[in-house]
Amino acid sequence: MKKSKKKNIVFAVYDHLYTEYRGYKVANSFLKSGHRSKVIGIKFDNDKELSAWEGIKVRRIKIYRSFSFPVNMIIYWIKLFFKLLVTKADVIYSHDIFPLLPVYVAAIFKGIPFVYDAHEFWHGNSHIENRPFVKNFWIRYENFFIKRADKVITVSNPIAEELKKIYGLKDIKVFTNLPMIKEIPSSKNLLHEILNIDNKKKIVLYQGHILFNNGLDDVLRAFVNVDKNAVLVLIGEGIEKEKLKELSKELNLFERIFFLNEVPHNELINYTVCADIGLCLIKNSGKSFFWSTPNKMFEYIQAGIPQLASNFPEMSKVVKDNIVGKVIDPSDQKMIYETLNIMLNDPGLLRDMKENCINLGRKYSWDSIEEELVEYVAN
């Protein structure tokens, strides 16, 4: 990677960092290019120790699980501002919307630029779509800071174009959520072993956040009619996880559906390669989902795992056009189980899709775009 004058890049993110893969990738790219990276995240009062950030300086701001989100956000803003003031920085980089207030004020005090990396489209975010007061607050908040950012980055072309129209911006760069190139593990039995799954059973895998209104309830209901030789494994955490566990019991699927806690980003590939099919079915509950390019979609490709994805524009361009899986309406339960059954019972189809995934692994990798990101931000 091209070397340029070393700079101190400080990244602010409202996340505990266990699974914050984009944050890690960006910080690591600057480190590799000769710059100095420091990441400031959050830590709940009872969090475990952080791993998988070796070589990157990390500090975490303590907040409290017993406090409400607004209270924790105020604590975070105050603590982050003072931490940024005393941290050596040439550029401050805000991951997503939450750190923007202290990042902007600290950048003014220090007389340095700041970058806004918009991970979501807040005008169409499922968390706030039906909460007008909350939605209005975050839209006005973003409106103030995005126009003052020295550079703006986002994750997909439709989101970039929409942000340009809404805020009258001319230049927004797109850096898609691609995975770093990793060595593919030779063992494909880890999930079978730790979950005590019969080796003859095929695994359908979902990995990622278990969020409100993202369609996993439809997946569970559809799974009643999926080939009995298949099991469903869900890896991740989120506000809907306990509800999904209860739903699996109601559907009498508790012996066919397995839940695993979130896995550090550097270990996830060991689990992903165990799957026969990956799920990237996200419900159309807002434009942020509709225009998304999820991490998991590219992680399945890198691991050589065919996938079943939502028939949204950006996902279809990758999955359908490259024949690495099938795309369907994610809210159609009949379509979900029928398509899964077709894929599960057609070894030749899965083999061809798997080969296409392997051939595309390097094209859809973070390594192919990181130099451009570093040059854009550092210069």
pLDDT in the model for residue 130: 73
Which residues sit opposite 280 in a β-bridge? Answer: 309
**3-class DSSP assignment, residue 292:** coil
Confidence grade of residue 53 (pLDDT, cut at 50, 70, 90): confident
Same domain for 200 and 151: no
Considering only CA atoms, which of 298, 283, 282, 281 is closest in space to residue 368?
298
Confidence grade of residue 213 (pLDDT, cut at 50, 70, 90): low
pLDDT tens per residue across span 245-272: 999 999 999 899 999 999 988 899 999 9
CATH number of the domain that residue 104 is part of:
3.40.50.2000
Mean of pLDDT values over 127-144: 87
Question: Does residue 134 surpass a pLDDT of 80?
Answer: yes
pLDDT tens per residue across span 94-125: 999 999 999 999 999 999 999 999 998 877 67
Residue with tokens 């009258």: 168
* Domain-embedded: residue 208: yes
Same domain for 299 and 251: yes
* Domain-embedded: residue 3: no
pLDDT in the model for residue 190: 95
Structural domain of residue 344, as residue ranges?
190-360
- Which two three-digit tokens encode residue 286? 């807002």
* Domain-embedded: residue 121: yes
Same domain for 354 and 332: yes
Local structure of residue 314 (DSSP, 8 states): H
* Domain-embedded: residue 239: yes
Same domain for 327 and 200: yes
Compute the distance between CA of residue 76 and CA of residue 97 in angstroms, rounded to an integer. 13
* Domain-embedded: residue 41: yes
* Domain-embedded: residue 1: no
CB 91, CB 115: distance < 8 Å: yes
* Domain-embedded: residue 184: no
Question: Does residue 360 surpass a pLDDT of 90?
Answer: yes
Confidence grade of residue 195 (pLDDT, cut at 50, 70, 90): very high
Same domain for 144 and 61: yes
The structural domain count of the chain equals: 2
Same domain for 157 and 142: yes
| pTM exceeds 0.85, yes or no | yes
Which residues sit opposite 207 in a β-bridge? Answer: 235
* Residue partners of 35: CB distance under 8 A and separation at least 6: 6, 7, 8, 9, 374, 378
* Residue partners of 186: CB distance under 8 A and separation at least 6: none
144 alpha carbon, distance to own chain's centre: 25
**DSSP line for 225-286:** TS-TTEEEEEE---TTHHHHHHHHHHTT-TTTEEEE----TTTHHHHHTT-SEEEE----SS
Same domain for 288 and 169: no
Same domain for 164 and 198: no
* Domain-embedded: residue 185: no
- Which two three-digit tokens encode residue 261? 């806690």
CB 90, CB 67: distance < 8 Å: no
Same domain for 98 and 194: no
Same domain for 252 and 155: no
Residue with tokens 């996880």: 241
E runs forming strands in the chain: 8-13, 36-44, 57-63, 91-95, 114-118, 151-154, 173-174, 202-207, 230-235, 257-260, 277-280, 307-310, 325-328
Same domain for 263 and 175: no
pLDDT in the model for residue 212: 59
Compute the distance between CA of residue 42 and CA of residue 60 in angstroms, rounded to an integer. 4
* Residue partners of 86: CB distance under 8 A and separation at least 6: none
pLDDT tens per residue across span 150-160: 999 999 999 99
Report the chain's mean pLDDT, rounded to a whole number: 92
- Which two three-digit tokens encode residue 212? 């409100």
Question: Does residue 3 surpass a pLDDT of 80?
Answer: no
Same domain for 105 and 207: no
